Amino acid sequence: MKSVIKTCLLSLFIVNSMAAENSIGDKTVLNEPEAGSVSTQQGLDSWSRVYEVTSHPRCANCHVGNSPYPMWSGPSFTKTQRHGMNINAGASRMGVEYIMCSTCHTGSNSEADHGAPGVKDAWRLAPVEADWFGKSSVEICQQLRDPKRNGNRTYQEIASHLGHDVILHWAWNPGGEREPVPYSLQEHMDDIMLWGVAGMPCPDDINSNLNDGVSYE
């Protein structure tokens, strides 16, 4: 077991050190709108575009919350279903306990029909807290603005994370006939910033009276 973990860490290191080159994130910038320049309504409009991205299968199929099962969808499938071949990410989120994701998901998209996609980062499921699959706009919004569940990030840190996190850049270059997520990475980062400056409003705030118990003033 120890050696499995060692090999796994080693391969993580190798993939990560390749991650710097040719990332679409290299071309992005953090545009901070002036404080007070974005209305709540404009913030909500930005949020609805952020939701289109985060709920899209190219993002949500890895952001499956508590489940250890990645999801499959796209042109070859009539509906979204559990990843085939009994894949289980385990507590490691990368299949150390069963079969490593990187066994099939290498550093680039496979050209083969139904081949496994890949990117220059270790393929794995997103953290449990970033639970987006099948979740509503309100649920994803409340998770993303909650420091306890968003990796303790400000909205600026979320946006800059998006620019640097190579694994998610795959969603803009998913390979095969897969549909990429809507909007560009830059537009997605800009929307996060607009939503943030507007005070991170969520669609149900008036009714729910901030029922997630966090204050955003």
Name the residue nearer to ligand HEC (CB basis): 72 or 216.
72
d(CA 50, CA 171) in angstroms, rounded, equals 14
62 binds ligand HEC (CB under 6 A): yes
Phi-psi group of 35: left, alpha or beta (phi > 0 → left; psi -120 to 50 → alpha; rest → beta): beta
Chain centroid to CA 63: 6
Count of residues engaged in binding ligand HEC, rule: CB under 6 A: 47
Select 37 or 154, whichever has its Cβ closest to ligand HEC. Answer: 154
Could you give the string, one character per residue 110-149, with x where binding to ligand HEC holds by CB under 6 A and - elsewhere? ----xxxx-----xxxxx-xx-------------------
DSSP string, 97-121: TS--GGGT--SS---STTPPP--SS
* Run of H or E residues at 16: helix 2-18
User: Do residues 52 and 141 touch, judged by C-beta distance below 8 A?
Assistant: no
Measure the CA–CA gap between 73 and 79, rounded to whole angstroms. Answer: 6
Minimum distance from residue 36 beta carbon to ligand HEC (Å): 25
CA distance 112 to 197: 44
Smaller CB separation from ligand HEC, 44 or 98: 98
Nearer CB in complex with ligand HEC: 36/112: 112
Per-residue interface string for the shown chain with ligand HEC, residues 67-106, x marking contact by CB under 6 A = ---x-xxx-x------x-x-x-x----xx---x-x-xxx-
What's the min distance (Å) between Cβ of 158 and ligand HEC? 5
Which of 28, 46, 61, 142 is close enough to bind ligand HEC by CB under 6 A?
61
Containing H/E element for 82?
strand 81-82
3 state DSSP class of 137: helix
- Would you tell me which residues interact with ligand HEC (CB under 6 A)? 53-54, 57-59, 61-63, 70, 72-74, 76, 83, 85, 87, 89, 94-95, 99, 101, 103-105, 114-117, 123-127, 129-130, 150-151, 158, 161-162, 165, 167-168, 170-171, 178, 181
